[in-house]
Structure 1
Amino acid sequence: MPDWSYHVLFKPWLSKLSPVTSREFIHKNMNRIASLPGGSHVIHFLGREEIAERLSTSVGGEQITGPVGLAGKIDPRLTGTKAFSNLGFSMIEIGPVTLGPQKGEHPVRKEGRLQLPDQGESIGLEETVRRLEKVDAAIPFLFHLRGAPNEMMKMASALQSFNGIFSVAYHEWDENLIDFLSGFKPVFLRIPSLDVSEVDRFQGAAGIILEESEGEGSAEAHKGALEKLQEYDVITVGGVKEPSDALTLLSAGARMVLLSAGYVDAGPGLPKRIHEALLDEKPESQHQETGWMWYFLFGLAIFLGGILALVFSLTSVILPYDEAFLGISRQELLLFNERILWFMAHDRMTLAGTMISGGLIYMWLARYAVSKGEKWAKQAIDFAAIAGFLGILFFIGYGYFDWLHLLFWLILLPLYVTGWIKSRGLSGRPSSKNRHSDRVWILGVYGQFCFVVLGFAFVLGGIVISYIGVTGVFIPTDIQYLCMPPELIQSFNERLIPVIAHDRAGFGSALFSVGSLVLMSALWGYHQGKRWFWWMFLIGGIPAFAAGIFVHVMIGYTTFIHLLPAYIALFFYGAGLILSYRYLMNK
């Protein structure tokens, strides 16, 4: 669940429920999604929780993909473990693990913030093993063992098949126990930040876990302890409410930070924000051939094609090959019903505006994201381009050969294929200037929500319009505008409706293609400090909205219900620009 959905759609009403009820509701439903066929791909599509290879680290001799993990207090019943393995965590703490189930204190909210108990509940060893066996994730677990020495030995034997490390609290530390546990996995010592001066008394520890407890869980408290533990692999629990806290702890020497209550307040996107902040702290120079120029030329060709289509829609509307296929002239069509020609202009001008906007977005993504080796931008361009190419089939269907669109297809294809070949292997991850969970950030989250809704609306609109184009062709308001039933149009010229259908389905496919580009950009490329992103949406959106609304006014097709989807889309477009301005401009 990304931040744009968590903070806008879920957190406002989940915060009114008890912490346990809201926790289990979220975790169980996320787990259901992750367990569905393709569920992990859906989670990845919406949140894109990827970790750059250069963020990998080693903890207790275990190589892990990144420095951010999840504290066991977040999911004591393990109802969301499968989902969490897809949310950007490199290690998940399990526990406390006890031999049998144990009740514990429940989390509470104080002054709007979640407080997790020091002594949480445990589902017991048997249930822990049963639930972990259902998780096919490759990430390691951090097992927090609790109990008598003989009980922990039994737990270690039962958990030895799972990848990860053990941890034991300082007041339960026993050298014979540690020798036994170390035969299975590395063992970390759990100790509060204020007691690190006594670490040397505990022999055999592969590393240290700085425990979170009331009054000690802040980043500053952990930072003070880290200064005394430079020779150890240290994992901190809690104290991270925003990316800057994690950066403080990692720069002070922590190998990994486990997110606790701050994760619930900040939202599921916190691991991703930390990773992006780390990449921003240590930018990597790009020496790889990215092929961005070919993608840029691909977008430029679409932009110019849109300009040409706009000129035609404002002048003759239909072209000579249209007249040849119809067997009638433009003048004859005007004499029969001039509104049919204006209706065709309406479809063709909206297509032109969509093409111009799409071309601009392609060029922006190529210049500012693909050129930096960012994989998400290449994937967005590839999906949208392939969808667009397949959509061109609508243009050459319906019983006549549309040579101009075929020529356009042949011009675009080599540009795209060359860009695709030269950009293969891109693996760069985006960085972000975001460090704080402040007002600018939360407004930015709402801005991203608006852009995501806009993208989804365009994709859905493209599907609906394409479907109408290949089925009924007209909707009731169209017939009302034309003042003529389809049967009469068909009796006048049996080829006229197929031409209109070809325009409608073609526009729908173009809207789907550009909509997918908008959607994936909003989902994957929205990061604080990316000024170009804000300008891309501002300038890229103007042609589509201007053409789509202006043409309706120009031809007198201003039925409110017909234009309502455009008005709604315009609202989300404007709201997204306003809400995201300070975030994207980093002001």
Structure 2
Amino acid sequence: MPDWSYHPLKKLLLDKMRPKKSREFIHESMNTIASIPGGRGLVGFLGHMAPPQELHKEINHMKFPSPTGLSGHIDPNLSGMNAFQELGFGFIEIGPIVLNEPKEQTEPKRENNHILFANHQEKVPLKLAIKKLTNLHIQIPIFARIDTHVKRNEWDMIVDHLTPFVDAFIVTSEQIYLAKSERHLENSFYVSFHADEMNEKVRELEKFIEHTCFGGIVINAPRRTVDSYWHEAANANEYLAKTVKQVKNLNPELTVITSGGVETPNEACTLVHTGADLLILTEGYVKAGPGLPKRIHERLLFEEVRPIEKQKSHGSFLFGLAILIGGIIALYFALTSIILPYDEAFIGLTSADIIQINPLILSFMSHDRMALAGTMISGGILYIQLARHGIKYGMHWAKIAFHSAAIVGFLGILLFIGFGYFDWLHALFWLILLPIYFYSIKEGKTATYTPYSSHGKNDRAWQYGLYGQLMFITLGFLLVVGGIVISTIGVTNVFVSTDLSFLCMSPQMLDNISSNLIPVIAHDRAGFGSALVSVGLLVLMLSLWGFRQGERWVWNTLALGALPAFIAGIGTHFYIGYTTFTHLLPVYFLVIVYLLGLVFSYPFLKKK
């Protein structure tokens, strides 16, 4: 559930549902996807949310892939546990844990853009926690928060049963004294305070530090109470930062975790700069969306001063340039001779012979070849831009996008053989491309950098940018689907009904003219389809992984790169008179999606 799908869905559907129902719908959906074979790979493909190596840290013998964690308030039923570790979190909090399930659980509610949690909020029964943790393979640390009203005998039972499944506990200042060093792990208990009571608790810190099981403190964001509910205060981040700084000044070695007060990457950076070791996201995560951890990571990386070492990208650039030039040459032939001498030799008829039989046949072949040429030109532009602005600067995601699309394009040549016509000129073109491509692979081995971003606000430009990103992701996905459909048609039926209406001939009539005519047409269709799949993948991956504020080249690439394919795809139909509305309707729809994407994403991508 990336931000580009979460926010439109939240606005259209989730905000109209009960908070608990919408929460469970989101968590169970994500959990289901992450649990099926290949599901985690899909989540990674859609979001590229794995925390960068630079942010990994070790605290009290626990390894955290990221400093950001998720509050137990967000998932009290533990229904999304399997998915959260795929969304970039470095640890997960569960709880508050109680021994037995309460008779009544008060649900949260939504009011004035706030999530209101009940004072007697939803609890996690010990049995449910153990059941969930036993069945899941969680690879990140888990903190269990024990409910403040748990009795002494219940506390021992909860801690003893959860110790094999969790890495640390979050307890109250009174409960820490119940921990026994001979029974529990060292540094495994973290004392929880509210930010507005820290002044009173500072004196107790020295007592806690002396306790063998004490690992650090958790500072909860200040709250505002509304009847029997509460929400985070408006100045939560500022108050938390001030409190963290105060604590760190007293004891710089003390591990400090904050809970809440983060809705934007900038607010996370503020807490990290004042000394917070780990951050637990609460209400702000729901408002900002599941992409917040990734955005925090990119913002934290931006803070690190590290020179960008430019990589060699000559092979990748030449690969894109070769495809661009190949598309221009193909366009020239499609507008002039249409079929080449070796096509005529295979068919057994010259262009003049075909014109005498039915001039629409050549026009139809021209329309497929012009569409292929336009798609190749678009693909060449996208490859060149990924080489110049992505691979050149060592971006790992750009390398993956480049080579995934290129490999699919190479495999497309296998589609041509199905009908018995092997285009030797096409094969020669691929043979020329192969050494260039292998050179680009060798160059790209050093492209391992993780992208970073200075964007730290949930501003209007970012919100519009999400809709623009959604449009371009939709465009890329539909191009891939369209390419698969066209390729499938090319190797099976070859024609759709509107094609035959335009030609005024049936496949049998075409076969009677020459048994080799349909294989040549099928070869053009399959070639166009495979090229469209390759370009669709480029658009899809560029849109999924390249959207960051101020990445002007991404907007320019999408704006310029799509034009040749659209112009050729629509222009060729009007050029030959094949203007059936239902046949062109999918292309018209794609153009609308493309234009909406440009408009929505302009403020976000083009802003310096």
Q: Provide TM-score, normalisation by structure 1.
A: 0.96
Matching residue's letter, 2:36: L
Asked if residue 42 in structure 1 is aligned to residue 63 in structure 2, the reply is: no
**C-alpha distance in structure 2 between counterparts of 1:78 and 1:464, whole Å:** 41
Query: For 1:220, what is the secondary structure of its paired residue?
Result: helix
Look up the match of 1:505: 526
Look up the match of 1:524: 545
1:378 CA displacement:
1.0
Matching residue's letter, 1:201: E
Look up the match of 2:143: 142
**C-alpha distance in structure 2 between counterparts of 1:293 and 1:183, whole Å:** 55
Matching residue's letter, 1:110: E
Look up the match of 2:274: 252
**C-alpha distance in structure 1 between counterparts of 2:203 and 2:125, whole Å:** 31
Asked if residue 428 in structure 1 is aligned to residue 431 in structure 2, the reply is: no
Look up the match of 1:190: 192
**C-alpha distance in structure 2 between counterparts of 1:401 and 1:445, whole Å:** 44
In structure 1, the gaps of 5 or more residues are none
Question: Mean alpha-carbon deviation: is it higher for 247-256 or for 275-284?
Answer: 275-284
Look up the match of 1:304: 325
Query: For 1:328, what is the secondary structure of its paired residue?
Result: coil
1:118 and 1:245, CA in 2 relative to 1: closer, same or farther beyond 3 A? Answer: farther
Asked if residue 228 in structure 1 is aligned to residue 246 in structure 2, the reply is: yes
Look up the match of 1:242: 264
1:342 and 1:333, CA in 2 relative to 1: closer, same or farther beyond 3 A? Answer: same
Deviations 1:196-250 (A, max 9, x none): 2213314133211011342465111101101111122111111111111111111
Matching residue's letter, 1:222: L
CA contact (8 A) 1:93 1:143 kept: yes
1:174 CA displacement:
4.2
Look up the match of 1:177: 179
CA contact (8 A) 1:356 1:544 kept: yes
**C-alpha distance in structure 2 between counterparts of 1:297 and 1:453, whole Å:** 29
Counterparts of residues 211-360 of structure 1 (less than 5 Å): 211-215=220-224, 217=233, 218-230=236-248, 231=252, 232-287=254-309, 290-360=311-381
CA contact (8 A) 1:374 1:428 kept: yes
1:111 CA displacement:
1.1
In structure 2, the gaps of 5 or more residues are 225-231
Counterparts of residues 375-394 of structure 1 (less than 5 Å): 375-394=396-415
Query: For 1:582, what is the secondary structure of its paired residue?
Result: helix
**C-alpha distance in structure 2 between counterparts of 1:396 and 1:318, whole Å:** 18
Query: For 1:138, what is the secondary structure of its paired residue?
Result: coil
1:180 CA displacement:
5.8
Look up the match of 1:159: 162
Question: Mean alpha-carbon deviation: is it higher for 110-119 or for 575-584?
Answer: 110-119
Asked if residue 12 in structure 1 is aligned to residue 12 in structure 2, the reply is: yes
**C-alpha distance in structure 1 between counterparts of 2:407 and 2:607, whole Å:** 34
Matching residue's letter, 2:80: G
Asked if residue 369 in structure 1 is aligned to residue 372 in structure 2, the reply is: no
Asked if residue 56 in structure 1 is aligned to residue 59 in structure 2, the reply is: no
CA contact (8 A) 1:4 1:445 kept: yes
1:574 CA displacement:
0.7
1:179 CA displacement:
3.8
Question: Mean alpha-carbon deviation: is it higher for 189-198 or for 496-505?
Answer: 189-198
Deviations 1:178-203 (A, max 9, x none): 64675365211100111222133141
Deviations 1:476-521 (A, max 9, x none): 1111111111111111111101100010011001100110111111
CA contact (8 A) 1:310 1:352 kept: yes
Matching residue's letter, 1:444: G
1:545 CA displacement:
0.7
Query: For 1:526, what is the secondary structure of its paired residue?
Result: coil
Question: Mean alpha-carbon deviation: is it higher for 472-481 or for 274-283?
Answer: 274-283
Asked if residue 576 in structure 1 is aligned to residue 588 in structure 2, the reply is: no
Look up the match of 2:217: 208
1:433 CA displacement:
3.0
**C-alpha distance in structure 2 between counterparts of 1:174 and 1:555, whole Å:** 81
Matching residue's letter, 1:242: T
1:127 CA displacement:
1.4
**C-alpha distance in structure 2 between counterparts of 1:398 and 1:131, whole Å:** 54
Question: Mean alpha-carbon deviation: is it higher for 206-215 or for 391-400?
Answer: 391-400
1:150 CA displacement:
3.4
Query: For 1:254, what is the secondary structure of its paired residue?
Result: coil
Asked if residue 79 in structure 1 is aligned to residue 100 in structure 2, the reply is: no
Look up the match of 2:33: 33
1:133 CA displacement:
1.4
1:113 CA displacement:
2.8
Deviations 1:78-101 (A, max 9, x none): 011111111110010011112222
1:491 to 512, 515, 529: 512
**C-alpha distance in structure 2 between counterparts of 1:94 and 1:85, whole Å:** 13
Counterparts of residues 95-174 of structure 1 (less than 5 Å): 95-102=95-102, 103-146=104-147, 147-170=150-173, 172-174=174-176
Look up the match of 2:498: 477
Query: For 1:251, what is the secondary structure of its paired residue?
Result: helix
**C-alpha distance in structure 2 between counterparts of 1:119 and 1:12, whole Å:** 30
Matching residue's letter, 1:292: S
**C-alpha distance in structure 1 between counterparts of 2:447 and 2:120, whole Å:** 46
CA contact (8 A) 2:144 2:166 kept: no
**C-alpha distance in structure 1 between counterparts of 2:130 and 2:187, whole Å:** 16
CA contact (8 A) 1:8 1:449 kept: no
Look up the match of 2:586: 565
Query: For 2:258, what is the secondary structure of its paired residue?
Result: strand
**C-alpha distance in structure 2 between counterparts of 1:583 and 1:118, whole Å:** 39
**C-alpha distance in structure 2 between counterparts of 1:571 and 1:423, whole Å:** 35
Matched residues, percent identical?
46
1:176 CA displacement:
4.2
Deviations 1:262-284 (A, max 9, x none): 11111111111111111222253
1:173 and 1:160, CA in 2 relative to 1: closer, same or farther beyond 3 A? Answer: closer
CA contact (8 A) 1:160 1:184 kept: no
1:397 CA displacement:
4.8
CA contact (8 A) 1:447 1:577 kept: yes
CA contact (8 A) 1:118 1:213 kept: no
1:55 CA displacement:
1.1
Query: For 1:72, what is the secondary structure of its paired residue?
Result: coil
Query: For 2:190, what is the secondary structure of its paired residue?
Result: strand
Q: Provide TM-score, normalisation by structure 2.
A: 0.93
**C-alpha distance in structure 1 between counterparts of 2:305 and 2:559, whole Å:** 27
Deviations 1:25-76 (A, max 9, x none): 1111211111111111111111221211111223344221111110110001
Question: Mean alpha-carbon deviation: is it higher for 210-219 or for 9-18?
Answer: 210-219
1:412 and 1:50, CA in 2 relative to 1: closer, same or farther beyond 3 A? Answer: same
Query: For 1:451, what is the secondary structure of its paired residue?
Result: helix
Question: Mean alpha-carbon deviation: is it higher for 2-11 or for 125-134?
Answer: 2-11
**C-alpha distance in structure 2 between counterparts of 1:184 and 1:247, whole Å:** 30
CA contact (8 A) 2:465 2:601 kept: yes
Query: For 1:401, what is the secondary structure of its paired residue?
Result: coil
